[in-house]
Chains A and B, each alone.
Chain A
Amino acid sequence: MPLLETKSVKKVFRTEEVETWALNDVTLEVNEGEFVAIMGPSGCGKSTLLNILGLLDNPTEGTYTLAGTDVSKMTEDQRTEIRKGLLGFVFQSFNLIEELNVQENIELPLLYMGVAPAERHKRAKEMMARMGISHRAGHFPNQLSGGQQQRVAIARAVISNPKLILADEPTGNLDSTNGKEVMSLLTELWQQGTTVVMVTHSQRDASYASRIINLYDGRVVEQTIL
């Protein structure tokens, strides 16, 4: 059984004057343990698809099944509940919370999962050690470099041991050295059994994946197994 499966998913954005079809009849499957890269030109619907896959948005039409559950018509609360512990997110712009320090940012998913403080701190420390940012535990995001911020973001994404990591242009704001490090981390996680779905512009980053899905004008136009 695939980990996630979309059938004829459509997403339309309407304004008073214009109706934009961001996704048009997208059908795809991602199995457990896959590393999938979604590519395509700007405006082709990559981020929209990732938001739907990450339960940050609902499709206008079609069905979306995640871990065997149809999640396409769920409420915000239900989606939040499903996300907990199942999904981890990595964003291009890191999206760390400015008011929280490194350790608190990493602990955030555990906090909302109700993990006891001692266990939370222990796991956060292990994760920081793994990412090589232990010395920055008490620092706030604006005191970190871009690479460090993205490592914190990845640490936060994986601390709850999610089955699926959704990464939106994870190296987009990084230089090549830091970008390479981030891709190595994601590959390491994939090799340990975590499913990764990544949106990227970069052919080099996509080369880390096991499958590439190409989108054009909101449709899947090509799938390549590497």
Chain B
Amino acid sequence: MKRSLLAHYLTVAIRSLERYKTQSIISIAGLAVGFVCLALSSVWIRYENTFDNFHPGADRMYMVWDKGLDLGRANLGTVAPRALNSLAIALREEWPEVECATMIDAETNDEKSGWKVPFTMIGADTAFVRVFSLKPIEGELATISYKLSEFNFIVTDEYARKRFGEGSPIGKAFNAFRMPSGDTDAITEAPVKGVVKAWHHSSFAFDALILEDGGAENSKFAPDGGFSMVVIRLRKGASADELERKLNAIDMGTKRIGEISLVPISQAHRLLADIRLHKDNLSYRHLRYFQLVSVLLVVCVFINFLVLFLIRVRGRQREMALRMVHGAKPRMLLAQFVVELSVTLGAALGLGLVMTFVVKDVFAAYAGIDLEGGYILGSALLFMAIIAAVCLLIATVSVEIVRRNTIRHSLMPGGGRRNNTFTKVCTGIQLAVSLALICCSAFMLKQLWFMKNTDWGYGIKGRMHFEALATRNDIVPDAPEWGGHFPFPPEWKESVLRRLNQLPYVSKAAEIGEDPIGLYGHRAGGMTWTMLPGIVDEGDNDKTYEYVRSRGFSVHTFYGFKDLRDPTLGITVLEGALPDPERWTNEVVITEKTRQQMGVEKAVGSDIMIAMDDFSNAPDGSLNIVRAPRHYVVAAVIKDLYLSSPSDEPYPCVLMKDGIRLGTDEMISVHFDPAHRADLAKELTAMFDEEPSLIYNTVWHEDEWAELMRSEQNLSRLLLVVSIVAVLVAVFGVYSIITLACRQRRKEIALRKIHGAKLRDILSMFIKEYGLILLAGAFVAFTVSYIVMHGWLEQYIKRTPLSLWVFVAILVATALLIALCVGSRVWRTARENPADVIKSE
């Protein structure tokens, strides 16, 4: 295209923007918001799907997950998807499909643990080097023998700079407290032997690394050393699905506990987050929803923009014809419209880029994306450019279709009967997309409200609990404080309970031992075992255990409750009675789901067997597991406990007094008037300040619940913003279209008036027309919304109904809005003097 032609097109395009200023601003701003939402959600999704893809052969790397070790997502110590070491060794040595396999253990030496420069340490067997194709950039990849005093460390270049400053870290002393493959309270000081390049965007990113010689008999990574994170790399051509199938089909003896799953390494971070009960600001699933909604927003704004543009193109048929008369070829006309479209889309792209620049850091923090701001900006720009290009392509094709009219036809005075069907269809599509967006957002907000006000099996409102832990100050030189699990001082506890129970807004404060809601996050207190109704005695523990294991079902067991009848827990009994704490021995309380699994109507008084293990550490540090089947009697059935997420099916639960319990069992629960939460928090702080040698963990149940619903809350907020933009765009779009329609039909309105039509006849004619368009759009939108929201709600255990009144309310509100738009525009046009109109037309 010649420069002078381009300049001419640009001049016309800018004049057109100026002429339709308000429409242009709405289109540009709406498109920019849509572009940014869609681009950032795409950047985020891409980031989520490309973890660890920088390792050579990443597409063949998998994490091996023994689901039997997941232990119901809430087991102490289960902080990663793991498999038994024996399976990892078998995979490496006996399975030809597997090129190499490594066992990994990780630990964070964080600020909470007292480290001034917190770091993540990984301990792995030496196969780690091969699996991840690790190469030193300085020094060597030295190995250690487990439990030998001669430790050494490998650090990353980035961490070395942070910890030691510039210069070579080789030979410098490095110490760590929490060792991934050693005793948890050992302080280790050893030299740095090697430096490797730091990993980013990885599930296995580390600051320091210990490579352990797996040959040592008492190694953490020896076959009897328990379980680890296991990562394998398959040989080229080997099928992961086939290997997974084989692993689950054959008898693996003691190498497997539950079902084995091979998780692609790019997805491992999501599994890690899930098992650690880490709640993202926006879950991956919700992120996909948001991306879909962003697409809808772009479609909505784009249709609005395109419809108005096409209507204007149709109005410029005469101009097109004149240009052709004066030498323009069809492709030149098309080029002119492409330039005009490009100016709007380019302006939206530019504004979108500015918006992305402004929000990129907030976005990165919100999404937990470990990428440079420039990279985010570049990726977002790429995505936005692609979206804009697609829009431009669609718009170009549409314009070309509309443009194809004969010159002669356009040049004839009054030539070309206007056909409004096209405009009406586009208005309908625009209304449908907007209504669908509004509808989906409304139901998401309704579901959120519903979840907030639903019984989840235990008390949330006006409930909190806390525990206090003693401290030690002599751990490591650069770790001045560290919180350990030590007994709760009894005299302080009694004084606290007395003081709390005297507060007017506290209904009750009591020592409860355990609290189900405290099981969120890392502080878990239960284990998953197999349960079988009835009494089983096969002669010895091992046989009884195997019998129960082979015939039973999984249950999640919670231990350490002192008094389940305590109202501070907020448990609802459905059958039987909660055990008397004074005479509580082998009675258990089960949830509805457990009763359902037992297949009985009445469960109270039933005998059950649970196949448990007793864990202990052998003197050499290896894990000692003893099979311990136990007999219990059901005392009561309570409502299901929803403990991990509103979208998770409630797990069959068993609550008991004793059992395997790792922790302090020293929780104090408080039931209070929610209006006085701030007063209670102040009072607790004052009490805690009186005993500064203790570390306190407070859990406000509403906060915990809000944390569980963080993703839903954030999704709702985002949807609300998107919906408001969609509503604004839709309302303005409809208003603009009606304005154009009135302008085009001025003569018709005048003629109708001349022939006896009254103002209300003309108003009713327009309202009927747009009413029909609204009904058609609403029918499509509501059908699609119903299907989409039905699918979305499937993920929740308790769902709000897709009530008819929501659809009706949205329809009525939109109808009123449209009636207002139509009324105001038509009123103005219909009040013109028909004689003047006829003359001027």
Residues on A lying within 8 angstroms of B by beta carbon are 47, 51, 54, 56-57, 76-77, 80-81, 83-84, 89, 91-93, 95-100, 104, 108-109, 111-114, 116-117, 120, 156, 160
Contact = CB atoms under 8 A, between A and B. Distances in A.
A156 B318 CA distance: 16
B318 A56 contact: no
B328 A80 contact: yes
B718 interface: no
A47 B407 CA distance: 13
Contacts of A120: 4
23 contacts: A57-B406, A57-B407, A76-B324, A76-B329, A77-B330, A80-B324, A81-B329, A93-B413, A95-B318, A95-B325, A95-B411, A96-B322, A97-B322, A99-B19, A108-B326, A108-B327, A109-B326, A109-B327, A112-B323, A112-B332, A116-B4, A120-B4, A160-B327
Contacts of B8: 104, 111
Contacts of B330: 76-77
Given A56-B407, A114-B2, A117-B4, A97 B323 contact: yes
Contacts of B406: 57
Contacts, number: 73
Nearest to B413: A93
B729 to A, nearest CB: 25
Interface in B1-33: 2, 4-5, 7-8, 11-12, 15-16, 19
B457 to A, nearest CB: 68
Interface of B: 2, 4-5, 7-8, 11-12, 15-16, 19, 316, 318-319, 322-330, 332, 406-408, 411-413
Given A76-B330, A77-B329, A113-B327, A56 B408 contact: yes
Given A97-B319, A99-B16, A112-B329, 16 more contacts: A54-B325, A77-B329, A80-B327, A80-B328, A83-B325, A91-B411, A92-B413, A93-B413, A95-B318, A95-B322, A95-B411, A99-B15, A100-B12, A111-B327, A112-B326, A112-B332
A57 B408 contact: yes
A98 B320 CA distance: 11
B408 A111 contact: no
Contact of A84 (B318, B327, B411): B327
Contacts of B407: 56-57
A78 to B, nearest CB: 10
Contacts of B12: 99-100
A56 B323 contact: no
Contact of A111 (B4, B15, B413): B4
Contacts of A117: 4, 7
Contacts of A113: 327
A98 B4 CA distance: 20
A104 B327 CA distance: 14
A56 B408 CA distance: 6
Nearest to A168: B411
Nearest to A93: B413
Nearest to A110: B327
Given A56-B408, A91-B411, A117-B4, A99 B319 contact: yes
Nearest to A116: B4
Contacts of B15: 99
A100 B7 CA distance: 13
A120 B319 CA distance: 21
Given A56-B411, A91-B411, A99-B15, A156 B319 contact: no
Contacts of A91: 411
Contacts of B323: 97, 108, 112
A17 to B, nearest CB: 16
Nearest to B322: A95
A97 B326 CA distance: 11
Given A91-B411, A95-B318, A112-B332, A56 B325 contact: yes
A114 B318 CA distance: 22
Contact of B325 (A81, A89, A92): A89
A156 B322 CA distance: 11
A48 to B, nearest CB: 8
Contacts of A104: 8, 11
Contact of B319 (A84, A89, A98, A114): A98
A100 B12 CA distance: 7
A97 B322 CA distance: 8
A14 B739 CA distance: 35
Contacts of A97: 319, 322-323
A96 B318 CA distance: 9
Contact of B329 (A57, A80, A98): A80
Contacts of B325: 54, 56, 83, 89, 95
B385 to A, nearest CB: 28
Contacts of A114: 2, 4
A112 B324 CA distance: 9
Nearest to A153: B322
Contacts of B316: 99
A10 to B, nearest CB: 16
Contacts of B318: 95
Nearest to A173: B413
Contacts of A96: 322
Contacts of A51: 408, 411
A71 B274 CA distance: 75
Contacts of B326: 89, 108-109, 112, 156
Nearest to B12: A99
Given A97-B322, A100-B12, A112 B4 contact: no
Contacts of B324: 76, 80
Query: Among A80, A98, A156, which residue has the most Cβ atoms of chain B within 10 A?
Result: A80
